[in-house]
């Protein structure tokens, strides 16, 4: 009897920080909606660079809760109320499917809809047996339009490079090699063995053609520091203007 009481006491303590059901459902909805929005190519943000995983933390904290409380609540529903959790997700998926069909229909009907125009490899694994240690890109934009470069990066803990990062710049097409470069802020990667998604988006006014060039993996302070161990995948490039 004592053992049983201790068990229930421990369980109560474990689940005392549960998020109320109404807020829990709202947070789940916002998290999934945000994830869906970041799959859209037309970002309409001037040179936006952000690790999108932080957005999920911001959403949860915006409701006044911690990510730990969210994890505990999901675990509680998964263990104690799995049927309720399935019902919540089924209802949510139904709403998203309806929204997706409506949005896709409207988006494809607009003149701004474009297909993925990435011309490089779909993914890169480092170290690369083919000798590509700094996978780069060069994208030439001729006419005015919105652009968005998206990719996911996993840097494993045993990666020996110093300050692994994304670097890029933009320059005039007529002086791509010798002209003035406008550098974008670098993205410093995290060596935690987990995939992180990034989006670099902006608008090209189209007065002259420009070259968008850079490296999906660079070593900021010491390029020869040690063996790399990373995966770059889910690479895509969307542009509503003309690409060469």
How do the domains of the chain map onto residue ranges?
2-42+51-109, 124-239
Give CA angle at 150 (39, 42), nearest 5°: 55
How far apart (Å, rounded) are the C-alpha atoms in residues 15 and 12? Answer: 5
Which secondary-structure segment (H or E) carries 140? strand 136-141
Please tell me whether residue 53 adopts helix, strand or coil conformation.
Answer: helix
Taking domain 124-239, whether its CATH number is 3.30.310 is answered by no
Does the predicted TM-score (pTM) go above 0.75?
no
pLDDT of residue 43: 40
Residuewise pLDDT in 10s, the chain (244 residues):
444 444 354 555 456 678 888 888 888 888 877 766 555 444 434 334 455 567 788 888 888 999 889 999 999 998 988 898 888 888 888 777 777 676 665 555 444 456 788 888 999 999 887 666 789 999 888 888 888 899 999 999 998 888 899 999 988 887 666 668 888 888 899 899 999 999 888 888 877 888 999 999 998 666 666 788 999 999 999 888 776 6
pLDDT value at residue 154: 94
Q: What is the pLDDT of residue 116?
A: 84
Tallying the residues shown for the chain, one arrives at 244
Give the pLDDT score at 39: 52
Of 103, 132, 87, 121, nearest in space to 236 by CA: 121
H/E element, 4: helix 2-14
Look at residue 48 in the predicted model and tell me its pLDDT. 47
- Specify the pLDDT at position 98: 76
pLDDT in the model for residue 181? 83
- The dihedral region occupied by 137, where left means phi > 0, alpha psi between -120 and 50, and beta the remainder, is beta
Name the 3-class secondary structure at 221. Answer: coil
């Amino acid at each position: 009897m004592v053992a049983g009481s201790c068990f229930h006491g421990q369980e109560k303590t474990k689940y005392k920080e549960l998020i109320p059901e109404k807020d829990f459902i709202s947070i789940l909805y916002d998290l999934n909606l945000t994830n869906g929005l970041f799959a859209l190519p037309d970002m309409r943000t001037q040179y936006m660079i952000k690790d999108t995983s932080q957005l999920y933390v911001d959403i949860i904290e915006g409701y006044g809760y911690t990510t730990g409380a969210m994890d505990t609540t999901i675990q509680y529903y998964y263990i104690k109320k799995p049927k309720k959790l399935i019902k919540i997700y089924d209802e949510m998926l139904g709403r998203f499917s309806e929204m997706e069909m409506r949005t896709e229909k409207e988006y494809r009907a607009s003149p701004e809809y474009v297909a993925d125009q990435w011309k490089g490899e779909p993914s890169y694994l480092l170290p690369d047996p083919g000798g590509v240690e700094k996978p780069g890109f060069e994208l030439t934009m001729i006419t005015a339009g919105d652009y968005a470069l998206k990719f996911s990066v996993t840097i494993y803990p045993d990666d020996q490079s110093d300050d692994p990062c994304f670097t890029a710049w933009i320059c005039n097409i007529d002086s791509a090699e010798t002209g003035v470069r406008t550098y974008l802020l670098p993205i410093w990667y995290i060596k935690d063995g987990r995939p992180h998604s990034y989006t670099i988006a902006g608008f090209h006014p189209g007065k002259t053609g420009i070259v968008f060039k850079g490296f999906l993996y660079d070593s900021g302070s010491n390029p020869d520091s040690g063996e790399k161990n990373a995966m770059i995948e889910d690479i895509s490039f969307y542009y509503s203007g003309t690409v060469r």
